[in-house]
Structure 1
Amino acid sequence: MTKSQENIRVRFAPSPTGEPHLGAMRTALFNWLFAKHHNGKFILRIEDTDQTRKQEGSLENIIKGLEWMGLDWDEGPKKGGEYGPYTQSERKHLYSNAAKTLLDNGHAYLCDRTPEELKLMRETQKREGKPPGYDGFSRNRKLEELEKSRKEGRPIVTRLKVPKNGNRKFTDSIRGEINFDLSTIDDFVILKADGMPTYHLANVVDDHLMQISHVLRGEEWISSTPKHILLYEFLGFTPPNYVHLSLLLGKDKTKLSKRHGATSILEYKNSGFLPEALNNYLTLLGWYPGENQEILSKNEIIKKFNLKGLNDSPAIFDQEKLTWMNGVYIRQSSTEFLTKIFHEELEKKLPNTVKRPVNKGILKKIVPLVKDRLKTTNDLIEYVDFFFLPPTQTDHTIIQKGVSKEETIKILEKTILMFNKQEIHQNFVTENIEKYLRNLIGTFELKTRQSLGTIRSAVTGKDVAPPLFDTLSILGLEECRKRIKNSLEVLNKQN
């Protein structure tokens, strides 16, 4: 018997032992979507019982990752809630009480085997071809013996007394009924010698006390579920509904790692990905919306999200597909939104010689010209830096393929003369610039591409840049004249 479908409460329970990686964040996302779809609660709980693996800054990065992805939690660190504290190291007394209950009702026992003795036991089992696992040495020992061991300074742990016969089953919302033979499960540790609980005990106690209705977690936890079912049974608790999410693999069908792309969510943030695109893409890894629609807003996903759409086949992470989707999101974003995002990028990445703050008015004009070319916001700098920082020019950066140096100088000199005309001087806008420049280049014995390319290179220092006439208009007449004169000086100096 599991908990009812009413009052949906789910949790994301990371350990602060490293960076917030893609697999964990997909789990957080699915929990968040499930809670939002059912108007339930999404709880953030920090599972830090293994203090030896705790990494400085890990918790902060997990929180940064969740906040960046927009996965706001209803209860947990920084929010509080009636079922706190939400950090396991602050709940030690609750686990001790649960372990004592299990000892008192005969479902657990103390064990004084040292690490060296356990190592020797495993080596013997391996040598004799026996399955690995605790051999139950302390299972029926008298309490007096163990108290004596405690006084002698031997480490004392608490183990669950697992029945040696029978089985336990549970229903997974994706995979259906799953059975486990109890003879394959050893008497596992629930309370360590330092008084801290193992993952299994803390997980069960917290999910019960926090009234978690559904546990959505990775399929690697399936093998641990019978242990949890036993703990629920022996403690007299009702287990939650289990949903074990499919594995996340690289394109080569191996476990997702650095070689498949970035693994930390914050790496994607720093690499110019939009959280909306990442949320959309991760949602489709293991969940089908019911139709062949790939681009879905967060609100659309919340409306459609249900457990029936989840499948048990491994989900394949494709960096190229994510990058494509990110480009779609950039193209669909408003000028106002992108101006804000791009302004933050340029403030960080333009050289200190560029005046701060970066001119938002100019940037707002640039955004519509470049957004269709971008796959990430990091691509922006190579397209627009010249708007804020005059290029360093050489013959090589100015002269176009198939155009001589003499022809290049002629084009630029005539462009300067044209810019001095009163009619364009008074109305230096895109349409006017295009009309006069096209009339001018019609007088050259060169292809249009070569002539306009020469002007573009002289002004921007780039082979690829936003549309030329818009670019000249945004830079302004005086800046364009100054840059073309500078290019002429470079060319004439090297004659």
Structure 2
Amino acid sequence: MPVAVRFAPSPTGYIHIGNARTALYNWLYAKQHGGEFILRFDDTDQARSKTEYAEAIVRDLEWLGIRPDRIEYQSKRFPIYDAAVAKLKDAGLLYACYETAEELERKRKLRLARRLPPVYGRDALKLSHEERAALEADGRTPHWRFLLPNFESDPFETRRTEIHWDDVVRGHQTVDLASMSDPVLVREDGTYLYTLPSVVDDIEMGISHVIRGDDHVTNTGAQIALFHALGEEAPDFGHHNLLTTASGEGLSKRTGALSLGSLRERGFEPMAAASLAILIGSSESVSAVRSMDALQEQFDPANASKSSAKFDPEELTALNRTLVHQLEFADVRDRLQALGIEGEKAEAFWQVIRGNLDFVPDAGAWWQIVTDGPMRDGEAELTGEDLDYARQAFDSAPAGPWDGTTWKLWTDQLKADTGRKGRNLFMPLRIAITGRTSGPEMSDLLPLIGPEGIAARRP
């Protein structure tokens, strides 16, 4: 069977780096096996699903380097789900339940008090036709549960029923269906929960591998049973560990924390996000991988740990810094032009400045320093003896033309004339010229600024 995978986000918010982890696991797995990657929007919740979120998800995936082979929308496939429901009802595998949420919670607490597993007791199966009619006459609308095959003949006498699969990520897995409640597939209002559309679409779209977060491990057993109830074999499954903050908190689309859109707007390189999303929480060291092809060669889903993948956002910045320092001028030419950095000095400027940047957009501030003058943002000011020294130094600046040796010639002469050395020799000049206490080598900056530019900066 050819490899086909799917990434199935709900368009109810902006996807974050944790969602990117799942998307990349599927994308890289498909690329390694010459397979198909389907972006399938789980938009059956039409009240909360928004077109703007779906469009943003497509943009975010494209920014990462993921271009789906197909895009599908579950909201356009309701007739297929209706047919599956009818098939399950005809087989006696989908049954109507009338309990309210409050009644179910009371039953759950009662079972816990009796030291019984808090699973649904299938009470609705005991209702007579007359009792069901009375409930409906009283205004009750049923929700529908899938009858798990965890019994021999009497559904009220469950027995251990193991579902096994060889997980692409976690290895051999076992789930006991007797430990689970029959899952609700259809709500009281007739809308579908995640499980039924997901399984039906996986069948219809020929999905060979379902790769997702390990919060789905337990319900995989029920889903495999549903595949079989619909007369199909289940695909292979893989469950990767979830990405969390350093404190162990999960990420949420609704809060917008670490959304891919916000990372892009802040100037992160897509490969910084991709490198962290794939390598964190694995046996591989987290390093900045320069291309998706290289990441594909490094990717092995079995390397993922079984514990959550905790990360500090500063790790992402560190990866970004490494990638920026490796970027050639041709890689960033268009982005620099958008910042106003162009002309005959642009390439030499990038070579000088890139080693001091965390983000490419930060180059804009240094371009202003080179072309317009020192930053006057209060970071550093010259006073007293340092101010007098800087003025003396500017008066004795070497004549042009300037090259990479000019800074050393200038400071050697100043050292001989003033007796200053070390930080006292260099720092007042750096502050006068750039307005900053750190940055690129002054020997590299001086030729970019030139004699006239330096003379105009005399404090």
TM-score of the superposed pair, with normalisation by structure 1: 0.79
Q: 1:27 to 1:476 in 2, by over 3 A?
A: same
Number of the residue aligned with 1:351: none
Q: Which residue of the other structure, out of 299, 308, 331, is the alignment partner of 2:325? A: 331
The answer to whether the aligner puts 1:478 opposite 2:442 as a matched pair is no
Partner SS state of residue 162, structure 1? coil
Of 258, 262, 266, the residue aligned with 2:261 is 266
2:272 aligns to what? 277
Shift of 1:55: 6.3
Where has structure 1 moved over 6 Å in runs of 4 or more?
none
Question: 2:155 matched to which residue of 1?
Answer: none
Query: Equivalent of 1:303, from 292, 297, 314?
Result: 297
| Matching residue's letter, 2:319 | M
Aligned residue among 331, 334, 337 for 1:340: 334
The answer for the alignment partner of 2:12 in structure 1 is: 17
Q: Distance in 2 between matches of 1:359 and 1:450?
A: 35
State the SS of the aligned residue for 1:299.
helix
Give the stretch that moved more between structures: 56-65 or 196-205.
Answer: 56-65
Letter in 2 for 1:399: L
Matched, 1:370 2:344: no
Correspondence for 2:170 among 172, 175, 179: 175
SS at match of 2:70: coil
Question: What secondary structure is seen at the aligned counterpart in 1 of 2:331?
Answer: helix
Q: Is the 8 A contact 2:169 2:302 kept in 1?
A: yes
CA distance in 2, matches of 1:324, 1:194: 49
Aligned position for 1:490: none
Q: In the alignment, residue 90 of structure 1 is paired with which amino acid? A: K
Displacement, 1:35?
Answer: 0.3
- Please tell me the residue identity of whatever aligns with 2:164: F
Within the candidate set 374, 385, 394, 1:412 is matched to: 394
The alignment status of 1:87 with 2:81, answered yes or no, reads no
Answer whether contact 1:92 1:196 (CA < 8 A) is retained: no
Question: In structure 2, how many angstroms separate the alpha carbons of the residues matched to 1:394 and 1:97?
Answer: 67
**TM-aligned CA distance change 1:90 to 1:380, over 3 Å:** same
Partner residue of 1:135? 121
* AA in 2 matched with 1:387: V
CA displacement at 1:396 relative to structure 2: 9.1
* The one of 48, 51, 55 aligned to 1:60: 55
Aligned partners of 2:90 and 2:319: how far apart in 1? 57
Tell me which amino acid in the other structure corresponds to 2:104: L
For 2:342, the equivalent position in structure 1 comes to 359
- Is residue 114 from structure 1 mapped to residue 96 from structure 2 by the alignment? no
Secondary structure, counterpart of 1:190 in structure 2:
strand
1:111-163 CA distances to partner (integer Å, 9 max, x unpaired)? 23334443443454455554333332322435575466556542222211223
The question of whether the paired residues in 2 share the 8 Å contact of 1:441 and 1:448 is answered with no
- Cα deviation for residue 37 of structure 1 reads 0.6
Three-state SS of the structure 1 residue aligned to 2:59 is helix
Structure 1 range deviating more: 445-454 or 222-231: 445-454
Q: 1:177 to 1:448 in 2, by over 3 A?
A: closer
Q: CA deviation at 1:39?
A: 0.8
Mapped to 1, the partners of 2:51 and 2:106 lie a distance apart of: 34
* Cα distance, 1:108 vs structure 2: 1.0
- The answer to whether the 8 A contact 1:430-1:473 is kept is yes
Cα contact 2:321–2:359 (8 A) shared by 1 = yes
Mapped pair 1:468 → 2:442: yes
Instruction: Quickly say closer, same or farther: Cα 1:394–1:66, change in 2 above 3 A.
Output: closer
Could you say if the C-alpha distance between residues 312 and 471 of structure 1 is closer, same or farther in structure 2, counting changes exceeding 3 Å? same
Q: Mark the CA change 1:128 to 1:57 in structure 2 (over 3 Å): closer, same or farther.
A: farther
Contact 1:167 1:179 in 2 (8 A): no
Q: 1:160 to 1:325 in 2, by over 3 A?
A: same
Cα pair distance change 1:436/1:114, threshold 3 Å: closer
> Structure 2 vs 1, CA of residues 150 and 477 (structure 1 numbering), >3 Å: closer, same or farther?
farther
- Write the distance in 2 (CA, Å) between the matches of 1:143 and 1:334: 75
In the aligned structure 1, how far is the partner of 2:378 from the partner of 2:242?
54
Aligned twin of 1:43: 38
Alpha-carbon contact 1:134-1:188 (below 8 Å) kept = no
Give the stretch that moved more between structures: 92-101 or 153-162: 153-162
How far 1:265 moved relative to its partner? 2.5
The residue that corresponds to 2:152 in the other structure is none
- What is the alpha-carbon distance in structure 2 between the residues aligned to residue 54 and residue 93 of structure 1? 19
The answer as to whether partners of 1:213 and 1:240 remain within 8 angstroms in 2 is: yes
CA contact (8 A) 1:168 1:229 kept: no
Amino acid at match of 2:228: E
> Whole-Å Cα distance in 1 between the matches of residues 387 and 452 of structure 2?
24
Does structure 1 conserve the Cα–Cα contact (< 8 Å) formed by 2:148 and 2:177? Answer: yes
RMSD in angstroms over aligned alpha carbons? Answer: 3.2
Alignment of 1:385-424 (within 5 A): 385-391=368-374, 397-399=380-382, 403-415=385-397, 418-419=398-399, 424=400
Q: Is the CA contact 2:169–2:303 (under 8 Å) kept in the aligned structure 1?
A: no
Report if the CA contact (8 A) 1:245-1:286 is conserved: no
Q: Deviation at 1:105?
A: 0.9
Mapped partners of 1:21, 1:395: distance in 2: 36
- Deviation of 1:330 (Å): 1.6
Equivalent in 221, 231, 236 of residue 226 of structure 2: 231
Unaligned runs of 5+ in 2: 150-157
Identity %: 29
Letter of the structure 1 residue corresponding to residue 161 of structure 2:
N
Q: Deviation at 1:379?
A: 4.7
In structure 2, C-alpha distance between the alignment counterparts of 1:50 and 1:203, rounded to whole Å: 13
Shift of 1:471: 2.2
Gaps of 5+ in 1: 1-5, 77-85, 348-356, 488-495
Cα distance change of structure 1 residues 72 and 330 upon mapping to structure 2, 3 Å threshold: same
Task: Tell me if structure 2 keeps the 8 A contact 1:249–1:314.
Answer: yes
Secondary structure class of the residue paired with 1:312: coil
> Which residue number in structure 1 is paired with residue 306 of structure 2?
312
